[in-house]
Amino acid sequence: MTSVRLVPVIDGALHNPSRFDRLATALGGALGVPCDVDHNPLAAAFAWDPERRQYYSSALLFRLAARGSTSGVRWLGVTPLDLYVPVLTFVFGEAQLGGPAAIVSWRRLEETFYGLPDNPDVLEFRLLKESLHELGHTIGLRHCDNPLCVMASTHSVELLDEKDAEYCPGCRKFLHLRVAAS
């Protein structure tokens, strides 16, 4: 991985553009590679499922990957939209294992989704962890057995909150070898 490009994935107007800038800065620091925001958003309306009232993440992922396959560049779609894959009720994100694209949603990472008061700091920390997780998959990392590793599988915000915002030593070694090779 030589760089990360964040792509806003929207269905309507772009809200809170500074969230993308803050995430780009945090990801760049955590991964040690340049990270910027692509100002050409991906329109998500085509992936809307009216029965589920959610957006099909795999379709969005396919469109993100089509943006280009420049060696080492990872495309990270970032969205406030609720995502799903057919076999699950929802997903926080999805990635192409060893591929150029991933997507994360902050919809179910927001405290307000669960009827709690808004907490932007909690949301941004969760979004960072989920972004690191999905980008790890693009590098070839699979789910980790260490429950504190950012690569641990999580299907609830409670488990996400227990994870660290970093890779365990084994995942970090794999990551550094892959980044150095690209």
- Is residue 180 scored above 70 in pLDDT? no
Q: How many domains are contained in the chain? A: 1
Cα–Cα dist 35/13, whole Å: 23
CATH number of the domain where residue 134 is located = 3.40.390.10
Residue 134 has φ and ψ, to the nearest 5°, of: -65, -40
Domain that holds residue 129: 3-181
- Catalytic residue, candidates 134, 158, 162, 166: 134
- The 10s digit of each residue's pLDDT in 51-87 is 999 999 999 999 999 987 677 899 999 999 999 999 9
What the block records as the tokens of 163 is 């994870």
What the block records as the tokens of 108 is 């179910």
- Judge if pTM exceeds 0.85: yes
Cα–Cα dist 85/145, whole Å: 23
Neighbours of 66 (CB within 10 A): 12
Whole-angstrom CA distances from 53 to 8, 9, 141, 170 are 20, 16, 31, 39
- Is residue 181 scored above 80 in pLDDT? no
Q: What's the mean per-residue pLDDT of the chain?
A: 94
pLDDT score for 177: 80
Tell me whether residue 110 is one of the annotated catalytic residues. no
84, 52 contact by CB (below 8 A) = yes
- The 10s digit of each residue's pLDDT in 2-37 is 899 999 999 987 778 889 999 999 999 999 999 999
- The 10s digit of each residue's pLDDT in 139-156 is 999 999 999 999 999 999
